[in-house]
Structure 1
Amino acid sequence: MADKQALAEERTDWAEDRTILANERTFAGWMRTGLACVAVALGLKAVFGDFQPDWLPRLVANLFCVIGIAIFWMARRNACRTTRRMDEHDTESQSTLGMTLTAAAMALGAAATGAILWWL
């Protein structure tokens, strides 16, 4: 009976490890989605380059940059929350600091892109 208990605990540990890995994949997916918003902003600026009034395409492009920044921070918040609740067994999860730095770098890049788009 103790052997069955040990096997059950081991399966539970592996399930928790899989959840940790899934959390990291989800975080990466949301980072890609945020970057896609920045790419849409760049595309809008390219498509509507000579549009009048000139502030309108800039505003819409910057809106997508802001949406990207929001996605980065929401992904970071959710991933860090999940990581803190999980116990590692056979895997080593990305640190919450690493996720925070990744989201901060992406947000800074999106903000810089928005600023450049506004002044082009």
Structure 2
Amino acid sequence: MNKSNELAENRTDWAEDRTILANERTFAGWMRTGMASLAVAIGLKAVFGDFDPTWAAKSVATIFVVAAVYIFWAAHDAATKTLDRLNDHHANAQPNARMKTLAVIFSFASVAVGGILWML
């Protein structure tokens, strides 16, 4: 292989590695957005503590809990689809199973928070 072909191949490999790293940063951003949605749900309870009727405030909080769960799974789906199309060269991509585990844990915790909000 000549020198220019090797340089072009290296640039392509580096671009894929940068894309993998950007994908992981995007996944983390989506997870933070989901956590922010969950924080809004918890904040609604604090702000509207004795709101009457209580079901109204709890329903709005539940919308944010559902949004958080959706965001976690949308992040997982988008990240794994991107990783499936790329090959890592020098960057070590996070395994899809780790992203799925995070989505499951965050989703379970969000549903638990929603349940607690309804019990209070």
Whether TM exceeds 0.5 here: the answer is yes
Hey, what's the Cα distance between the residues in 1 that align with 2:107 and 2:75? 12
Hey, what's the Cα distance between the residues in 2 that align with 1:65 and 1:54? 16
Deviations 1:17-39 (A, max 9, x none): 00000000000000000000000
Aligned residue for 1:116? 116
Matches within 5 A, 1:54-93: 54-93=54-93
Matches within 5 A, 1:41-52: 41-52=41-52
Runs of 4+ in structure 1 deviating by more than 4 angstroms, as ranges, are none
Percent identity between the two aligned chains? 53
Q: Offset at 1:109?
A: 0.6
Hey, what's the Cα distance between the residues in 1 that align with 2:42 and 2:30? 19
Matches within 5 A, 1:89-104: 89-104=89-104
Gaps of 5+ in 1: none
Deviations 1:36-95 (A, max 9, x none): 000000000110011111110001001100000000000000000001110010011000
TM-score, normalised to structure 2, is 0.98
Gaps of 5+ in 2: none
Look up the SS of the partner of 1:94 in the other structure: coil
TM-score, normalised to structure 1, is 0.98
- RMSD after superposition: 0.8
